Amino acid sequence: MMENKAPIIEINNLSYRYASEDVLKDLNLTVHKGDFLAILGPNGSGKSTLIKLLLQLLKNQKGEIFIYGTPIEKFYAWEKIGFVPQKANAFNTGFPATVYEVVRSGLTKKTGLFHFYPRNVKEKVIDVLRAVEMEDLINRNIGELSGGQQQRVFIARALISDPEIILLDEPTVGIDSKRVASFINLLERLNKEKNITLIMVTHDLSAVINQVTHIAWLNRSLQFHGSVKEFKNINKVNAQSFYQTDLESVSNVQVNGGKH
């Protein structure tokens, strides 16, 4: 059972406000090793704020976050945590960087380790590009790639420091729906085969429900957190008020595994 797995992120009574606006209210959430967690919720529900707090781009105001049991303010092993931003199509065709250079830039946190071993860097870049099936495009200009391909490059960039956790903030925005499926399958593979814990903000429940292991439904406070099985069970009981109405209005999801 998942409860036997080690908790790697523990959020206790976390609240956050910008100016006079309470954005996160009294959040409690534990993520275990190997979870593939989708964070869903309406626009403005605090999803990105939560990710920023987990990356310490924002500092805690109230409540605590522990990573591997360490209070996040005292956590320094950031190479264990990768981040994939919402960046599909972020580079135009003239952007002067190759796929190789973009992936290599993910090593900045570990420069000390790789600085004197340029050959190893190249091997490592090829290795992570292979993991996302992009090794053939290593010398291409990043701006010439599709949004979906660029996101794979960003996954490779996150993978290069051998992270144990990857946070993703709406990684499929701007990617056409055919490619979203293969992108989510890639994430599932990283989760299952490399046992990387994934925490992904998404609007698209139907695209991820068969791959993720857990769902957190956020609307400033946490409305639900549990396994996909528990989520489906709740929705059988409470389909109208929760699954159908709330989520469909947010994301135009087609429930029951419908394609779009």
Ligand X SMILES: Nc1ncnc2c1ncn2[C@@H]1O[C@H](COP(=O)(O)OP(=O)(O)OP(=O)(O)O)[C@@H](O)[C@H]1O
Q: Which residues are at the interface with ligand X (CB under 6 A)? A: 18-19, 21, 23, 41, 43-49
Nearer to ligand X, 3 or 21 (CB): 21
Note the helical H segments in the chain. 47-54, 99-104, 111-114, 118-131, 147-159, 177-193, 205-208, 228-238, 248-251
Give 16's strand partners. 24
Residue 65 to residues 3, 169, 204, 256, 259, Cα–Cα distance (Å): 19, 19, 27, 34, 37
User: Which CB, 211 or 251, lies closer to ligand X?
Assistant: 251
Nearer to ligand X, 23 or 97 (CB): 23
Least separation in angstroms between CB 6 and ligand X = 28
Least separation in angstroms between residue 220's CB and ligand X is 8
- Residue 58, SS3 per DSSP: coil
Contact between residue 169 and residue 84 where contact means Cβ atoms under 8 Å apart: yes
Smaller CB separation from ligand X, 51 or 128: 51
State the minimum distance, in angstroms, from the CB of residue 24 to ligand X. Answer: 8
Judged by beta carbon, residue 32 or residue 220, the one nearer ligand X is 220
Nearer to ligand X, 41 or 163 (CB): 41
Q: Is 102 exposed, middle or buried (0-12, 13-18, 19+ CB in 10 A)?
A: buried
The distance of closest approach from Cβ of residue 171 to ligand X in the complex, given in angstroms and rounded to an integer, is 13
In the chain, what is the greatest distance between 2 CA atoms, to the nearest angstrom?
A: 59
Q: How far is the CB of 251 from ligand X (least distance, A)?
A: 10
User: Minimum CB separation from ligand X for residue 163, in Å?
Assistant: 22
- Cβ at position 40, least distance to ligand X in Å: 9
Nearer to ligand X, 28 or 111 (CB): 28
CA dist 65 and 163 (Å) reads: 19
- In 73-117, alpha helices (H): 99-104, 111-114
DSSP labels, 121-185: HHHHHHHHHHHTT-GGGTTSBGGGS-HHHHHHHHHHHHHTT--SEEEEESTTTTS-HHHHHHHHH
